[in-house]
Amino acid sequence: MNPSTAQARVVVDELVRNGVRHAVSCPGSRNAPLSFALHEAAVAGRLELHVRIDERSAGFLALGLSKGWGNRPRPDLVAVVCTSGTAVANLHPAVLEAYHSGEPLIVLTADRPAELVGSGANQTTTQHGIFGPLVPTVDFPIAERRAGQNAVWRGMVCRSLPVDGPVHLNLPLREPLVPAGGADWPEPLDGRADGKPWTSTTRAASCRAHADDLGHLSARTLVVVGDVHRSHVRWAGEVADKAGWPVIAEPSGRHLADTAAVITCGGAMLAAGSLPDRLRPESVLVIGRPTLSRGVQLLLRETPVVHVVSDGPRWADPQCVATHVSGPIDKGAAVPPPDSHWLAGWQAADSAVRDAMDALLTAQPWPSGLRLASELVAALPPESTLFLGSSNPVRDVDLVAWQRHDIVMLANRGLAGIDGTVSSAIGVMLGSGGRNGYALLGDLTFLHDINGLLLGPDERRPNLTVVVLNDDGGGIFSLLEQGSGEHTDSFERIFGTPHGADLAALCAGYHVPHQLVTTVDELRRELTPSTGIHVVEVRSDRAALRDLHARLRRVVADALATHHRR
């Protein structure tokens, strides 16, 4: 065999031995040796290969596959593979999202040999460090026909893993790029006979010690859970129950154990303004990265003791208000004696706010984003997975959807962009082991990654219902400062960005079934588990959005004030 073929086969074999179970490959010439090696591994049943023609969608598909590992003890590692040049640059959004969400992702890129870099050769750029200082680059040596390289290549793979975020493996490959034109190789290219990695490695211990004493936290502590891995919060429900602490969890942090401490309307209560005195915490325990609510940031600024839990060297504290930082909390951690009135007071207020919110939403004409979020989450079949788009969908669910412990909600909250959301949702469902899959997206998010629907005839399709709230533009901007009346003259063109796209025609072009629903009953029928991917469109009007959210805040504030006076 030729050197490039030998190197690609060894690298792919060692990746499989180190736990790579999915690979997303994009067609290209320079990465042909890797593509052949991946195809051989897939035919042998050693990994599942997914092929996509759009590198940006491929990157987010790989990210979703990594997120979709479910309740297995560790995630399946996922690699995304592409050719040189702009193909690599198109992976950058997914790589940034993986870094900021702490999601493992192996980026395997083909490169031109060193003598072509800087020469003006076609499809050639400087790929070392192309993803910036956040992502380590491992540059492999050019493969040569000589003994001793098998150990070097395998060792380099092992040293780059395991990963808590993305890692970039860059392979400069010389022609010939197809498995032909070579003589016998001068050494065996086999790995360990037992099928194990060349070098077995374990994850380095976190530099943050686990907390076993929470004596600095008051009995009147509020737990805030942001975006966080399921495996990192399994202890949170037990600690909250033991201490009698109410829990407010963002949608992508609601995978706690079943606990009575969760406050369903917590997001809406914090968004309504400062809390009544009886609900004001003396300390806050923050788990993960809260990203959705200005109310949460106001709460943290107003609370004297803020304990942030981190599973690595970085921690989430954009306002620099944290007084304590630790690793995950030990289940047996010492906590202050519970205050019997603290949790009960939050639960009673939660009930009052829920009744007031339900009355407001049911009185609203169908549809609105808030009511769609409420109805959708309530109607999902048990054991479903729901992927939430950025902007309004994830915030609508945070504000009004019931807490459900029998479904998993996920989102790309590392950088919270709208990039690649369709592909991420598909990846999550492909990696989730057969759960019923759903996604709730806005129209701009859907259009931004509609190429994620482009699957070849040989590609596995998940069971995924994509619900698109189509309000013909950027609805979230209606709720921000630029959506106020004084900016009416410029708003529609530069923020509202109406597009007039025909979603049904676009879906037809991708051979994906589409259904427009106009009533709640029609929506519920479309949520019946089905085979393959299909799109459900719900059309709404942005004009009433700002007023509806203002009324929601008033209703919640009034309910809290009334409850407080009792």
188 domain-assigned: no
Question: Is the pLDDT at 251 greater than 50, yes or no?
Answer: yes
Residues 346, 373 within the same domain: no
- List the CATH number of the domain containing 250: 3.40.50.1220
195 domain-assigned: no
Residues 341, 378 within the same domain: no
191 domain-assigned: no
559 domain-assigned: no
Q: What is the residue whose two structure tokens read 């009007």?
A: 541
Average pLDDT, stretch 102-119? 92
Residues 333, 407 within the same domain: no
Question: Is the pLDDT at 136 greater than 80, yes or no?
Answer: yes
- Cβ(359)–Cβ(263) below 8 Å: no
Q: What is the DSSP letter of 405?
A: T
d(CA 550, CA 546): 6
110 domain-assigned: yes
Amino acid 120: pLDDT: 86
- Among residues 121, 153, 172, which one ends one of the domains? 172
Parallel, antiparallel, or unpaired: how do β-strands 514-517 and 533-539 relate? parallel
Q: What is the residue whose two structure tokens read 């040999």?
A: 113
- Cβ(426)–Cβ(452) below 8 Å: yes
3-class SS letters over 14-59: HHHHCCEEEEEECCCCCCHHHHHHHHHHHHCCCCEEEECCCHHHHH
**Average pLDDT value over all residues in the chain:** 92
Per residue in 535-566, pLDDT (tens digit) is 999 999 999 999 999 999 999 999 999 887 76
Amino acid 258: pLDDT: 66
- Among residues 142, 172, 202, which one ends one of the domains? 172
Can you give the residue range of the structural domain that contains 21?
3-172
pTM greater than 0.85: yes
Q: Nearest CA to 12 among 178, 199, 191?
A: 191
For residue 139, how many C-alpha atoms fall within 13 Å in the half-sphere facing its CB?
12
- Among residues 172, 202, 232, which one ends one of the domains? 172
Domain count, the chain: 3
196 domain-assigned: no
Residues 517, 386 within the same domain: yes
Q: Using omega within 30 degrees of 0 as the cis cutoff, is the peptide bond preceding 381 cis?
A: no
Among 9-23, 73-87, 254-268, top mean pLDDT goes to 9-23
SS3 548: helix
Residues 87, 230 within the same domain: no
- List the CATH number of the domain containing 452: 3.40.50.970
62 domain-assigned: yes
Amino acid 338: pLDDT: 93
Question: Is the pLDDT at 73 greater than 50, yes or no?
Answer: no
Residues 381, 315 within the same domain: no
364 domain-assigned: no
Q: Would you place residue 405 in the very low, low, confident or very high pLDDT band (cuts 50, 70, 90)? A: confident
Residues 303, 386 within the same domain: no
Amino acid 163: pLDDT: 75
Percent of the chain with pLDDT over 70: 96
Amino acid 566: pLDDT: 67
Per residue in 460-483, pLDDT (tens digit) is 999 999 999 999 999 999 988 998
Question: Is the pLDDT at 146 greater than 50, yes or no?
Answer: yes
Phi then psi for residue 445, to 5 deg, are -60, -45
Higher-pLDDT residue of 372, 162: 372
d(CA 19, CA 466): 30
Provide the residue count of the chain: 566
Residues 142, 219 within the same domain: no
SS3 517: strand
Question: Is the pLDDT at 208 greater than 80, yes or no?
Answer: no
What are the tokens at 201?
């490695």
Residues 292, 329 within the same domain: yes
Average pLDDT, stretch 204-219? 80
Cβ count within 10 A of residue 150: 20
Q: What is the residue whose two structure tokens read 């991708």?
A: 510
Q: In the chain, what are the helix, strand and coil shares in percent, each to the nearest 5? A: 40, 20, 45
d(CA 436, CA 450): 21
Amino acid 206: pLDDT: 58
Q: Would you place residue 182 in the very low, low, confident or very high pLDDT band (cuts 50, 70, 90)? A: low
Amino acid 257: pLDDT: 63
Residues 234, 109 within the same domain: no
Phi then psi for residue 539, to 5 deg, are -95, 140
Residues 347, 375 within the same domain: no
CB-count burial class (<10 Å; 0-12, 13-18, 19+) for 43: exposed
Residues 373, 342 within the same domain: no
Per residue in 3-33, pLDDT (tens digit) is 999 999 999 999 999 999 999 999 999 999 9
Amino acid 332: pLDDT: 83
d(CA 190, CA 335): 54
